[in-house]
Amino acid sequence: MKYITILILLTISLLPRVNAQEQRDKQQQADNLFERYEYFKSLSIYLKLADKSNAKEEVIERVADCYRLMNDYDNAEIWYQKTIAFPEAPAIDHYYYAEILLRNKKFTEAREQYKAYYALENADQLPFKLATVDSAQKWIKTPVEAFTITNEQKFNSKYSEWGLNYDGKTGFVFTSDRKVSEKKKDINTRNGDGYFKMYHIDGDVAAPLALKTKDNPLFEANYHVGPMALTKLGDTAYITITTTLPRKKLSLDQNINNGTQYVYTRRLQLLVATKVNGQWANFKNFPYNNLKEYSVGNATLSKNGDVIYFTSDMPGGEGKTDIWYCAKQSNGEWDQPVNCGKNINTKDDESFPSLGNDNSLYFSSNGLPGMGGLDIFKAKGEKSTWSKPVNLKYPINSTSDDFYFLTRDNLSGYFSSNREGGKGGDDIYSFGYKPPVIIASVPIKTGKPNLSSAIPSPQAPSAILTLKKGEGFILNNIYYDLNKWNIRHDAAIQLDKLAAILRSHPSIRIEVSAHTDSRAPSAYNLTLSNKRAAAAVVYLVKQGVARYRLVAKGYGDTKLLNQCAKGEYCSEEDHQVNRRTEIRVLSE
């Protein structure tokens, strides 16, 4: 279910050495293919064997395993159900079945299968898994409604697309395993699709990104390429590839079937390239690649380019794969890798780091509390000092694998997911923040001495008449479109009523202040709130209120009315409390 972590971080390549004189039966042939991770080929043989009335448990199990490892979750569910019906079925099959059921949103059945597995193995992990099921079920019922999610058709195909990164103002790069031909060398025997390659798009049509040249043999057809991270200027790229080193330079992992097959690990390495005359060239190894011992890949850079974050299973980490960083030294070289620490990394997998424009770290994890599979998290800080990660919840996250989050403003952007309803295996989705229109006024206890705890309804702005100098109230139903400050029709209705009150009582002078929630950079929020307050004042002036009676003030996210500070998860209703327009009487 979490093949992304395995495939991209620890891609395996196998070299068979078969004795031509040795005859194998069908199951042995299938087993050999399976051991070489050629699930696409082995599945067709296992299915024929499973079609017999006396099919063995291990054959049924292998069919289920193939479907799971090829990410065909519907068929995997069918075959694991058959597998666990055998009395001799291993305990791990209950676990895999539970994972598939959770992914397919069958929560009750998933709980039962987790209980069946953990009754036999690692019982102390059961509460974590049951909490995962509960979170998934709860968060799907109460989604973060402010986020709109769209499958971006221009990027996606019936294959897998993921790892989107910006390339300049309007361009993008991403990786895809779409087939380039039906030739044997172009087919990945793991799943029958192509190998991951880089694509570029600037408009509506994606095209392969040219990386291979005569002088550069690193980008062979039968190895994976991607993702690719670029510097702010777009002149340097950090590209993740499966190493193309010859097998004699690789580590031998194991000897299978008495020397008939040797298993070699083809690890990931990070390449650094620069652009010369519009073409990528000068490919060099990242200084901390170590292909005999560990993988390095999936890089991202800080805004000023002085820190690089990446994923690795190098020694000294907290778990399977961790997020590490290197700081740039005064001579331009990268310093030694440092682990990002226990707040970010767990005993399981953390990967796919990216940074927002305020250097917030976004990453994926299956070791932190979430919904199942890989979930996207956000943390504030830098290097090895981070706040407690916040799960972005549904609909950004799902019961599937959600990863490679990309944003420039923390309000919109892209991420990758293999959730249900997609166009292919992995798809690229966009997200946008859209505050909902809340019709009813909600009383708020603010605890502030100069702010009335009673909020007048939109139909009764005349409450201003009862306030003395220094007192104020919140004018509800003053809403703005995302990233905009023009006065909408519904806001105009409320401002018209306020203007009528002010025209009738010319001695009153007020401050009109705008406030935002915390879900964007503070500098951005302050600018936006100033523009919104100014727009409200301009509107009131047009309605006949003297300009000298009005003061516009934007406070951004500096005067929150509740606990919804940056990094804290809150419901949309809680955030709406902070997105408000206040009126304060300056003089009577």
| 382 lies in some domain | yes
- Within this chain, do residues 249 and 394 fall inside the same structural domain, yes or no? yes
> What percent of the chain stands above pLDDT 90?
57
Q: What's residue 300's pLDDT?
A: 97
pLDDT at 70: 94
| Residue 366 falls inside a structural domain | yes
Domain of residue 498, residue span: 461-587
Instruction: Kindly tell me if the per-residue pLDDT of 470 is higher than 70.
Output: no
Q: What is the mean pLDDT of residues 111-131?
A: 94
DSSP 335: P
**CATH code for position 502:** 3.30.1330.60
pLDDT of residue 37: 87
133 φ/ψ sector (left φ>0, alpha ψ -120 to 50, else beta): alpha
Q: Among 391, 418, 433, where does a domain finish?
A: 433
Residue 395, φ and ψ in degrees, nearest 5:
-100, 0
- Is the pLDDT at 506 greater than 70? The verdict is yes
Residue 450 in this model has a pLDDT that exceeds 60:
no
Q: What is the mean pLDDT of residues 8-27?
A: 49
408 and 363: one domain? yes
Residues 426 and 473 in one domain: no
State residue 335's pLDDT score. 97
Question: Of 516 and 313, which is predicted with more confidence?
Answer: 313
364 in the same domain as 513: no
Residue 193 falls within a domain, yes or no? yes
Rounded Cα–Cα distance for residues 344 and 354 (Å)? 13
| 444/169 Cα distance (integer angstroms) | 42
Q: What does residue 206 show for φ and ψ, rounded to 5 degrees? A: -90, 145
* Higher local confidence (pLDDT), 54 or 427: 427
357 and 290 inside one domain: yes
Mean pLDDT of 310-324: 96
**How many CB atoms sit inside 10 A of residue 547's CB?**
10
Whole-number pLDDT of residue 441: 35
Tell which residue, 177, 237, 171, has the closest CA to residue 201: 171
Question: Are both 513 and 469 inside the same structural domain?
Answer: yes
Q: What is the mean pLDDT of residues 431-460?
A: 42
First to last CA, the chain: 66
Dihedral sign from CA coordinates of 209, 213, 218, 220? positive
How confident is the model at residue 560, as a pLDDT? 87
Q: What is the predicted pLDDT for the residue at 482?
A: 55
Find the radius of gyration of the CA atoms of the chain. 28
Pairwise CA distance, residues 89 & 95, whole Å: 11
* Residue 253 included in any domain: yes
Least confident of 39-53, 138-152, 265-279, 492-506: 492-506
Whether residue 10 has pLDDT greater than 70: no
Whether the pLDDT of residue 360 is over 60: the answer is: yes
For residue 449, being part of any structural domain is answered with no
Question: Within 13 Å of residue 387, how many CA atoms lie on the same side as its CB?
Answer: 17
For the chain, the domain total comes to: 2
Q: How confident is the model at residue 491 (pLDDT cuts 50, 70, 90)?
A: confident
Question: Last residue of some domain: 395, 416, 433?
Answer: 433
pTM for the whole thing?
A: 0.74
Same domain for 173 and 291, yes or no, is yes
Kindly tell me if the per-residue pLDDT of 203 is higher than 60.
yes
pLDDT at 83 over 60: yes
pLDDT band for position 230 (50/70/90)?
very high
- Per-residue model confidence as pLDDT tens digits over 535-580: 899 989 999 999 989 999 999 999 888 878 887 767 777 787 788 8
412, 528: one domain = no
Alpha-carbon distance 183 to 180, whole Å? 9
Selection from 241, 247, 207, 240 nearest residue 223 by Cα: 241
Residue 23, pLDDT > 70, answer: no
- Euclidean distance between CA atoms 24 and 166, whole angstroms: 51
Give domain status of residue 234, yes or no.
yes
The pLDDT value recorded for residue 399 is: 98
Q: Which range is most confident: 306-315, 410-419, 477-486, 525-534?
A: 306-315
Q: What pLDDT is recorded for position 257? A: 57
The structure tokens listed for 379 are: 């943390």
Q: Residue 14 contacts by C-beta under 8 Å, 6 or more apart in sequence?
A: 35, 36, 37, 38, 261, 262, 263, 264
> Does 472 lie in the same domain as 376?
no
Residues 107, 133 contacting (CB under 8 angstroms):
yes
Residue in the structure block whose two tokens are 């778990």: 319
**Residue 349's pLDDT is what?**
97
In a domain, 136, yes or no: no
Calculate the alpha carbon distances from 179 to 162, 183, 187, 223, 266 in Å. 15, 10, 7, 13, 21
pLDDT at 490 > cutoff 50: yes
Query: What are 238-278's pLDDT values in tens digits?
Result: 999 998 877 777 777 665 555 566 667 789 999 999 999 88
Q: What percent of the chain has pLDDT over 70?
A: 84
Q: Is the pLDDT of residue 480 over 70?
A: no
- E-strand stretches of 70-224: 147-151, 161-167, 171-176, 197-201, 206-208
Same-domain status, 465 and 515: yes
Lowest mean pLDDT: which of 58-67, 305-314, 336-345, 522-531? 522-531
The residues, any chain, with a CB within 8 Å of residue 557's CB and separated by 6 or more, are 515, 516, 517, 518, 520, 522, 525, 526, 566, 578
Rounded to an integer, what distance in angstroms lies between the CA atom of residue 57 and that of residue 49?
Answer: 11
Q: Which of 417, 433, 449 is a domain's end point? A: 433
My answer on whether 548 and 416 are in the same domain is no
Q: Is residue 66 part of a domain?
A: no
Tell me: pLDDT of 187 over 50.
Answer: yes
Task: Say if CB 160 and CB 191 are below 8 A apart.
Answer: no
Average pLDDT, the chain: 85
305: domain CATH number is 2.120.10.30
Task: Determine the Cα–Cα distance for residues 114 and 107; give it in Å rounded to an integer.
Answer: 11
One domain for residues 275 and 354: yes
Q: For 487-494, what is the mean pLDDT?
A: 77
